[in-house]
Structure 1
Amino acid sequence: MNSNKNINIKPKKKNKFLNTVIFLVISGIIGAIIGFVLAPYLKGFMDTYSKNDNLFMKFLKVYGLFLIFFVGYIVHIILHEAGHLIFGLMTGYSFISFRIFSFTIVKEDGKIKYKKFNIPGTAGQCLMMPPDLEDGKYPFVIYNFGGVIMNLIVSIIGILIVVLVKELIFPFNTILILFSLAGLLIVLTNGIPMKLGGVPNDAYNVLSMIRDEEAKRGFYIQLRVNGLQSLGTRIKDMPIETFKLKEGSDLCNPLNTAIVLMEYNWHLDNMDLDSAKQCIDSFIPYLDKVVPLFKNEINCERMFLELVGDCDKKFIDDLYDKNLKKYIRAAKFMLGKKRLLMAYEGFYNEDKNQALKHYEDIRKLAEEYPIKGDADMELMISNWIKERL
């Protein structure tokens, strides 16, 4: 990598204990308020629950509450992503894709299509093309908080119905209470800045962008590049300057990390493996501070470059540990991981047949891949690997 090669970064240490305390205090306050408001209704429910001996109540006693809460949580995940979509459209963004777990809806050639895709550690994602910059600015707060706002509105409505509609009887009042609590849990876990499973939440991203102009630029570039790639543009056809961070930028900030990984993909798409290695190796001093999701991505690409290069088996074994294997298994819909496994079987295990099986998986997956520009790059690299087998 060029401008980032000699960056000397000393990220501020995160006070994890303090963040945990703040989260628990805020959660406790909100929980106390909710408990105070709902106490009479919960008491009434428990009285009914403990005295009723019919079959439904026996089932409910064991599974019902957890099932209702779980279903409510899933519904609120959908509402959360819908919130990003609605508030994004309101502020000038355009629709690219909408994903819940691996079920993905994309806009392709003017038509809405269903595909499968997932990112380990995320339950859903709404990708949108941001509006053009105006004086270097774009709306990012409402778009990021759109999901939290939607969950909060729906949860408050549910609580108000329980409180105000006196005629509402069991089990409808219980369903609404648990549904609203599930929504408030999502509000807390996305509205308070934190990393969940190593993935920054919405509030964390907003706070990062408020504090760091380069991170704000990075978020915009991510949305723009993902949008263009989804429409079929190859990353190699974009200006390399797009992915250059300013001197001294914090590589450990997830929004900046993503931009450098895009620069890596630019070199990879141009088959400039030396520059790609220089780029990915710039992360090595900061790997312990990079969020786990990106750390796994970085190590996957370091492993890939070694496989197609010197193929030092000790180096590969050190990288290919239990955590990385688990991550690769979870990322079964991501073409880059299939490409990595193809190289591993072909060059590490010297098993051409197994490598070609992964190649066929790549070809099939690429046909329905939601990010067309990325699929074209992965097919090109996979064909190059096939020629070398």
Structure 2
Amino acid sequence: MKQALKLILSTLFGACIGFGAVMFCIVMFTGTSVSDFLEKMGNVQIVTLLLSCVLSMVCLILAVFVQIILHEAGHLVFGLATGYRFVSFRVGNITLIKDKGRFRFKRFSISGTGGQCLLSPPDRPYRQMPYFWYNAGGVLMNLLTAIIALILWVAFPKMPLALHLFLLFSFISGFFLALMNGIPMKAAGITNDAYNLIFMRKDPESRKYLAQQLSINAALMTGTRLKDMPEAWFPNDEITDYGNTFQVSAKAACGSLHIDRGEFKAAEKIFKELMQHEKEIAGLFVKEISCELLFLELVGDMAANEVEELYTDKLKGYVLRYKNVMSSKQRLLCALALYWENQPEKAKEIYGKVLRNRDRYLQQGEVAADLEIMEKMLREAGVEP
């Protein structure tokens, strides 16, 4: 979604640059001065042009934002209609969740996405799990609303300019987002809706992994830790395709389960196996795996060369970017402060901040595990939490 927004906005920006280039060429190669050019255009025309550009920009941004919401709403509506249950609905970094029967807003974000609708799967065998409408819902909603916007734009040409522009951009952005998600493709290793749909049709096993991931996510939201979830949700199957995000995610979940249990060697073995296929795995997974390997190195052998190799400026930026929405990043920062920087008070401060703000985190099961791990680290280092 973010890529779509960037492409649309860059197109409009390019149009503005093009206008500036035309003006520059006229001034440079026709002997016309800037003042003459502006005079010929007329001050009123220039003001009108500038206001039109600003209005167009505002309408475009609003239309794209609305279409992103509608895309995720499509997943929600079609998912609920086929037996899924509501878990969360995110636009940007604002996430709506259902917590103990009440709806609440929290902050969360995932690199490369403008929104996300997560549901828990229906209680049925994975081979019978409905997957088409849940995956296709976003594309269908974008197409439907784009067609409606076009019909209204054509049928009512004399409507206010702002509304006229909004409908036009709603059609363009809706159709564009439908194409972006309706044509099977990968972006930085992340698959889109159409790719997932086709993949699950060809490979029923991938439906199992999707159902398990959705179930794990829903349980984490409600405060259940990984170690307290059913063992069947963590199949330690051999990966046959490291480009398959479903298989990689399921394997990474097993590694996270071992960390929650305190089985750090077993977790390290899994994450190192995944890292051996770094070039095949989606970039987002590589960053998450790198974070966990760095943590495991810090609490384990803490070989200086390994820590320095893992803790690059790029990874540091990633950790700092997500530290306020993912408690696992605070756990890593706590280990860095305690073992690498030799600053126990800083580590204690990080733990205290997470403890005070624990309700703000999206995945309550994860934050409960991370708090316990940090507390144990501090106590073993002789620091009272």
| Greater displacement, 58-67 / 314-323 | 58-67
Q: Which amino acid aligns with 2:344?
A: K
Q: Which amino acid aligns with 2:372?
A: M
Q: Secondary structure at the match of 1:193?
A: coil
For residues 212 and 320 of structure 1, the distance between their equivalents in structure 2, rounded to whole angstroms, comes to 37
| Displacement after TM superposition at 1:134 (Å) | 4.1
Q: Secondary structure at the match of 1:283?
A: helix
Quick one: structure 1 residues 181 and 230, their matched pair in 2 at CA, closer, same or farther if it must change by over 3 Å?
A: same
Q: Which amino acid aligns with 1:343?
A: A
TM-score normalised by the chain length of structure 2: 0.83
Q: Which amino acid aligns with 2:116?
A: Q
For residues 303 and 44 of structure 2, the distance between their equivalents in structure 1, rounded to whole angstroms, comes to 67
Q: Secondary structure at the match of 1:120?
A: coil
Asked whether 1:233 is paired with 2:224, we answer yes
Q: Secondary structure at the match of 1:99?
A: strand
Out of 61, 82, 90, the residue aligned to residue 91 of structure 1 is: 82
Q: Is the 8 A contact 2:129 2:207 kept in 1?
A: no
Q: Secondary structure at the match of 1:113?
A: strand
| Displacement after TM superposition at 1:135 (Å) | 7.0
For residues 125 and 207 of structure 1, the distance between their equivalents in structure 2, rounded to whole angstroms, comes to 19
Q: Is the 8 A contact 1:214 1:245 kept in 2?
A: no
> Match for residue 244 of structure 2?
253
> Match for residue 334 of structure 2?
342
Out of 276, 280, 298, the residue aligned to residue 267 of structure 2 is: 276
> Match for residue 139 of structure 1?
130
Asked whether 1:223 is paired with 2:214, we answer yes
**Higher relative contact order (CA closer than 8 Å, sequence separation 6+):** 1
Q: Is the 8 A contact 1:144 1:202 kept in 2?
A: yes
Q: Which amino acid aligns with 1:91?
A: T
| Displacement after TM superposition at 1:206 (Å) | 1.7
| Displacement after TM superposition at 1:55 (Å) | 8.1
Q: Is the 8 A contact 1:192 1:203 kept in 2?
A: yes
> Match for residue 13 of structure 2?
none
Q: Secondary structure at the match of 1:161?
A: helix
**Number of positions where the alignment pairs a residue of Structure 1 with one of Structure 2:** 341
Quick one: structure 1 residues 173 and 367, their matched pair in 2 at CA, closer, same or farther if it must change by over 3 Å?
A: closer
Out of 358, 370, 384, the residue aligned to residue 378 of structure 1 is: 370
Listed as ranges, the matches of 1:55-74 within 5 Å are 57-74=48-65
Quick one: structure 1 residues 378 and 135, their matched pair in 2 at CA, closer, same or farther if it must change by over 3 Å?
A: closer
> Match for residue 361 of structure 2?
369
Quick one: structure 1 residues 247 and 117, their matched pair in 2 at CA, closer, same or farther if it must change by over 3 Å?
A: closer
Unaligned stretches of 5+ residues in structure 1? 1-49
Listed as ranges, the matches of 1:291-330 within 5 Å are 291-330=282-321
Out of 345, 348, 359, the residue aligned to residue 353 of structure 1 is: 345
Asked whether 1:117 is paired with 2:113, we answer no
For residues 56 and 152 of structure 1, the distance between their equivalents in structure 2, rounded to whole angstroms, comes to 35
| Displacement after TM superposition at 1:104 (Å) | 1.3
Quick one: structure 1 residues 135 and 148, their matched pair in 2 at CA, closer, same or farther if it must change by over 3 Å?
A: closer
| Displacement after TM superposition at 1:60 (Å) | 3.0
| Greater displacement, 155-164 / 207-216 | 207-216
For residues 207 and 126 of structure 2, the distance between their equivalents in structure 1, rounded to whole angstroms, comes to 14
| Displacement after TM superposition at 1:216 (Å) | 1.8
Q: Which amino acid aligns with 1:213?
A: P
Q: Secondary structure at the match of 1:92?
A: coil
Cα offsets for 1:151-208 (capped at 9, x unmatched): 1111110011112334435343222111221122211221122233443222222222
For residues 352 and 219 of structure 2, the distance between their equivalents in structure 1, rounded to whole angstroms, comes to 26
Q: Is the 8 A contact 1:233 1:373 kept in 2?
A: yes
Out of 249, 255, 264, the residue aligned to residue 264 of structure 1 is: 255
| Displacement after TM superposition at 1:254 (Å) | 0.7
For residues 363 and 135 of structure 1, the distance between their equivalents in structure 2, rounded to whole angstroms, comes to 37
Paired-residue identity, %:
34
For residues 210 and 102 of structure 2, the distance between their equivalents in structure 1, rounded to whole angstroms, comes to 27
Q: Is the 8 A contact 1:72 1:179 kept in 2?
A: yes
Quick one: structure 1 residues 274 and 171, their matched pair in 2 at CA, closer, same or farther if it must change by over 3 Å?
A: closer
Quick one: structure 1 residues 135 and 158, their matched pair in 2 at CA, closer, same or farther if it must change by over 3 Å?
A: closer
| Greater displacement, 363-372 / 278-287 | 363-372
Q: Which amino acid aligns with 2:345?
A: N
For residues 108 and 55 of structure 1, the distance between their equivalents in structure 2, rounded to whole angstroms, comes to 53
| Displacement after TM superposition at 1:276 (Å) | 1.0
> Match for residue 244 of structure 1?
235
| Displacement after TM superposition at 1:58 (Å) | 3.5
Q: Rg bigger for which structure?
A: 2
For residues 326 and 305 of structure 1, the distance between their equivalents in structure 2, rounded to whole angstroms, comes to 19
| Displacement after TM superposition at 1:51 (Å) | 9.6
